[in-house]
Structure 1
């Protein structure tokens, strides 16, 4: 039998080497001539000056005219990517504040080096050409139309590389804004003033309007028609308007000021807003609408920025994000918003400005209503803005030297963007926890067990695997080792919320029960292997049983692979990531088999092998499974039930165990067990379990042992 396995194992080794070589060819080259690259960003340039010391930019000239600046992102921001290493970008901006180009000089993202390749990354960066750095740039899907038809600008994200795309986008935006301020393209942001919370004055609606503590933006229909009949991009709107039907009738106010917030919301809601709904340094702006043109729109998603409103300060648009504050209020609480002398509004929406956004409430700012009209499917929509300035008196604020709040960390922004996925994942993990603690009920009936198990496996494959890209990998271990070694920030581990939550759950189950609950329930590629075994059963392919002595020796392969990868990671992370292609996870799950043929052939070969040897990869080659087996070697609970007859004389469970984790003497090897509960179904079935069959026929009662392992 050993000889018969030599040829397949040799072929497998050659396949891994071929894949590693293919992955290595995707790593980007060495040093590039920066002046030549800058010339490609500014093709009209006649002279590229040497890099300045402060600011760290290359001024770019056309004859005697300064036309823009080029700079390295690493001189301004160091946001760690998914690999733990920042992107190094060469970025060009012109004097009008528009991006001229973005070139990736250095990156270590595994998905680009050994997965998708760098093509999608370069397609992504080409989208910045011509965009205004003053406007927020959001990532979206390719299916969204009219990406420039509102106050926000949207660009296509990178499918299967969401985290890397978010980090790249943040690197571009943050570094470009810093350069624009240092070069005078936009005004430098002042430290944000603090609201005087001790100052509370009596007021009413008319006083708020008269003092202009509540801003008014009233847009007649005639003004809108005139604006779209002209070439003006922004039509100024006077504070007073001529008679005629209104297109929009907005009032807006800055609610952090106690006098304003307490009047508009009432004491109870204001206290709830400030104490429960805001983080330190956050700002809230209320927008109240009486006009027919909604500030949100029919297709608006709660908790996101509105494309119909824009807040500008010092020439830079600052993100306004809906708080969805009133969604959970009772009708009587909403009714309490109406004060004597205060009009009733069709819309009353609170928007958050995050701490660190650069917003200064004591300085002048403008709220604009953004109106777009489609011009046909192949032409961009026409956009007009109707704005009104707003400024509160300085006596309402405490203006000190520096009270700037740190910006939200990037990982927190990513978590906020994926709240729905996080909720579904936590629900799924809650269900798995219920299955674990209710396993006696689950396995009491074979049909019930099969429905529950395959239902959960499909959830793992579809949601965790293909929708959220939540396939854990040995490359995650490399990132953890970098953090432990001080070579990367711990925030790297938080960049992907699905991966972070799964790792937390898996580590907890490792302590309690060993490796099984990831390998048996939460591994998407493991589900594909189980499907291969089911297919083999359907088409009458008999799966081969490997003699137990050889089976135990083959277990060592995955531990050797794990050891080799860990040692290699200390010498070269990039080399270890390429060698980690021994895992087919990226090909089969992350990229959905859309990849170069050596990778696809390797993954398919493993699945094909699973038709003949149950979960061949899991049993003998998976370095992640080996890692979990090592980490979970000492666990607290061994609660899979056994009987004294298990192993002698009964061998049914040992023969039926697809993973081969039951020793000939009946003991369960928890290092190899994937906790699939198939043996427990047999244990509880008096038509399968030999001791139970004997007991049912009136023979001696079986002895019960709760756990043997």
Structure 2
């Protein structure tokens, strides 16, 4: 047995230099300043001269002979958004004089998923999507499977699989720095601080007044006018023919308009319950065959057929789904409309209701599967009288933190995660009921383990890692901002939950229930049972010595992290989590062989990696050492004379004396199932046979 263990250890040690060498080769160096003209020429291949960098604003003017054709700039001169590692991207961005992206190049980054995982290629493919996009439009990240990303009012680009948070930060760095540079260059106007609605001003209103005063603007189109637009021909005058769309739109926050159109009760509900401070609402009323939403519209999402622009910049509209639960109370003099929809404008958009804005209707027509849809837009302007507002002339600044934007975008996954953690909490608190029946326990446990592997592991990429602990240490030491801990909402929520369970019950509920790679090892152990592969039992005295190896690995990585975070992240490849879960085994062969060797070892030694090598498990064992509850039930007969739980414990956390070592226990409840089963527990079997009454429950823990 000792010889077998030594052979596995030697194999793993031989593979370590291979993964370290692989990780080192992937670092992205920062380009030298003298290389900038050459890099800018890659973005502007027609350029004949790159002028020296200006100081205010910090840009490189780009010329073709004597004509100024655009500008290049570094994102770091405008924004410093921390990435997943805590350090910002440094991007070289090119825009032309019309505000169109000409190119984006990544000069420096410290994202672990690219440095020691995916490599730089997915990131470069991501940035190749920007040329031709307008910096005035909000760019959203979506799935590569979505077709016709530019056929509606929103612009979408493909995300990076397995690097969602890193891609979001990169995209935000591009957009925010480009808007700031364009404003300073005068390509787009600065925005003033949004005006506040005068809540005390309410004038008499009816539908005729709203239309006559242009507080409700009309956009009316005929079939002939739309057909003419797609044929690139002027519409015949007068514009006759069947109606295509007849819509009106209006601003609802103003009491004069909102109280008339919605009624006092619904207006109050809108302002006090549906809108957060600083948010705005508009109503769009439509009649005609062309829907403002479309057949594929999902309630509560941005509409692809409507776009709102202000100062040349598109502002996101999001459906309020206002009348889904209540009946509308529309005014009696309001004409009939097929569609009455309310849309929200978030406070982070910087929308100023006292400045002119434009609503656009987007019409698209398919040109065949292999050809992009053709789109045309039809617009109407809107402006309310200044007497409705309290106006400030100061420039507005969007202070919405990036982490909050990411949390809002991933609300669905957050809800599913919280639901799963609520279920686990119910299992923990009701563990006596769960373990009272062996079949019920097995169904519940394996059902939850599959949720952990599929949803937490592969769908949300929520595998916790020792590298997360490095980031926490960097925050504690003051080297990076604490907001970096919130960049990935799934990781942040899991850490909060795990730290709480560490305080209460120790390390077990992460290692035994919430670790996706731990689930893979459980599945390997189950496969070994089905294949009748006998588990090798390492002698107890050797087992006790070797489980300390993971604490040595943990100490080494923590020390290295204070000197070189990059080196610590490469050393953290001792964890196979990135290869098996994040990358799904699509990685360089040394990593795959190493991970495969660990899983193969699990066929013979239950959860080999968890027992002896996992630095994260060691960290949780240390952090959870002084937990409050040791509630796994024991009897006086446990360990003397009964050794059943000791032999059945796959993780070897029960000593021959019968005591449970909570530093190693993963709270799988297998021993508690035995404890409650009168066909397995020896004292209960004896009682059932009338030989002996079992002793009272005692807490027998180290």
User: TM range, normalised to the smaller chain?
Assistant: over 0.9
Structure 1 residue aligned with 2:559: 567
> In the alignment, which of 168, 171, 177 is matched to residue 170 of structure 2?
168
Contact conserved, 1:356 with 1:404, CA < 8 A, in 2?
Answer: no
Q: What is the Cα deviation at residue 280 of structure 1?
A: 2.1
Q: CA 1:416 to 1:180, structure 2 compared with 1: closer, same or farther past 3 Å?
A: same
Aligned residue in 1 for 2:624: 632
Deviates more, 1:257-266 or 1:93-102: 257-266
- Tell which deviates more after alignment, 494-503 or 666-675: 494-503
Give the structure 1 partner of residue 255 of structure 2: 258
CA distance in 2 between counterparts of 1:388 and 1:153 reads: 21
* Whole-Å separation in 2 of the counterparts to 1:557 and 1:285: 62
Query: Does the 8 Å CA contact 1:194/1:403 hold for their aligned counterparts?
Result: no
Distance 2:646 2:680 in 1: 13
Task: Report deviation, 1:405.
Answer: 5.9
Contact map agreement 1:357 1:407 (CA 8 A) in 2: no
Residues 1:581 and 2:573 are matched in the alignment: yes
**Is this contact kept in 1: 2:190–2:395, CA < 8 A?**
no
Q: State the alpha-carbon separation in 1 of the partners of residues 527 and 220 from structure 2.
A: 67
**Match of 2:220, SS?**
strand
Residue pair 1:355, 1:407 contacting (<8 A) in 2 also: no
Query: Given the alignment of the two structures, is residue 105 of structure 1 paired with residue 103 of structure 2, yes or no?
Result: no
Query: Does the Cα contact within 8 Å between 2:262 and 2:331 map onto a contact in 1?
Result: no
CA–CA separation in structure 1 for the residues paired with 2:634 and 2:460 = 37
Q: Distance in 1 between matches of 2:312 and 2:655?
A: 72
- Does structure 2 retain, via aligned residues, the 8 Å contact 1:657–1:678? yes
**Is 2:467 the counterpart of 1:475?**
yes
Q: Which residue in 2 is equivalent to 1:410? A: 402
Cross-structure match for 1:24: 24
2:179 paired with 1:181: no
1:522-533 counterparts in 2 under 5 A? 522-533=514-525
Deviation larger for 197-206 or 104-113: 197-206
Q: Is the 8 A contact 1:193 1:403 kept in 2?
A: no
Matches within 5 A, 1:500-511: 500-511=492-503
| Residue 348 to residue 208, structure 1, CA distance change in 2 (3 Å) | same
Structure 1 unmatched ranges of 5 or more:
none
* C-alpha separation in 2, matches of 1:213 and 1:471: 52
Aligned-pair distance for 1:4? 4.2
Q: Distance in 1 between matches of 2:338 and 2:474?
A: 54
One of 275, 285, 292 as aligned partner of 1:295: 292
The equivalent residue for 2:64 is 62
The structure 1 residue matched to 2:536, chosen from 522, 535, 544, is 544
Answer yes or no: is the 8 Å Cα contact 1:663–1:669 preserved in 2. Answer: yes
Shift of 1:173: 0.7
SS of match in other structure, 1:128: coil
Q: Hey, what's the Cα distance between the residues in 1 that align with 2:25 and 2:91?
A: 21
Q: Structure 1, residues 356-397: CA drift from partner, whole Å, max 9, x if none?
A: 323221111110100011111222211100100111111111
Structure 1 SS opposite 2:241: coil
Q: Quote the Cα distance in structure 2 between the aligned partners of 1:368 and 1:545.
A: 71
> Aligned partners of 1:574, 1:346: CA distance in 2, in Å?
59
Q: 2:414 aligns with which of 415, 422, 429?
A: 422
In the other structure, the counterpart of 2:37 is 35
Contact (CA 8 Å) 1:648, 1:666: kept in 2 or not? yes
Which residue pairs with 2:378 in the alignment?
Answer: 386
2:456 to 451, 454, 464: 464
How far 1:568 sits from its partner (Å)?
0.7
- C-alpha displacement at 1:407, in angstroms? 3.5
Q: Return the offset for 1:273.
A: 1.5
SS at match of 2:567: helix
Q: Distance in 1 between matches of 2:429 and 2:531?
A: 35
Please give the per-residue CA displacement for 1:454-490, whole angstroms capped at 9, x wherever unaligned. Answer: 1111111111111111111111111111111112222
Equivalent of 1:89, from 85, 88, 91?
A: 91
- Cα distance in 2 for residues equivalent to 1:372 and 1:109: 39
1:230 aligns with 2:222: no
Residue in 1 that maps onto 2:510? 518
Q: Which residue of 2 aligns with 1:358?
A: 350
Aligned residues: 699
- Cα deviation for residue 403 of structure 1 reads 7.2
- 1:10 corresponds to: 10
Q: Give, in angstroms, the shift of residue 14 of structure 1.
A: 2.1
TM-score, normalised to structure 1, is 0.96
**Cα separation, 1, equivalents of 2:89 and 2:128:** 16
Residues in 1 aligned to 2:642 and 2:313: alpha-carbon distance in whole angstroms:
76
What CA distance in whole angstroms lies between the structure 2 residues aligned with 1:420 and 1:358?
25
Please say if residues 471 and 524 of structure 1, whose CA atoms lie closer than 8 Å, have aligned partners that are also in contact.
Answer: yes
Q: Does 1:198 align with 2:200?
A: yes
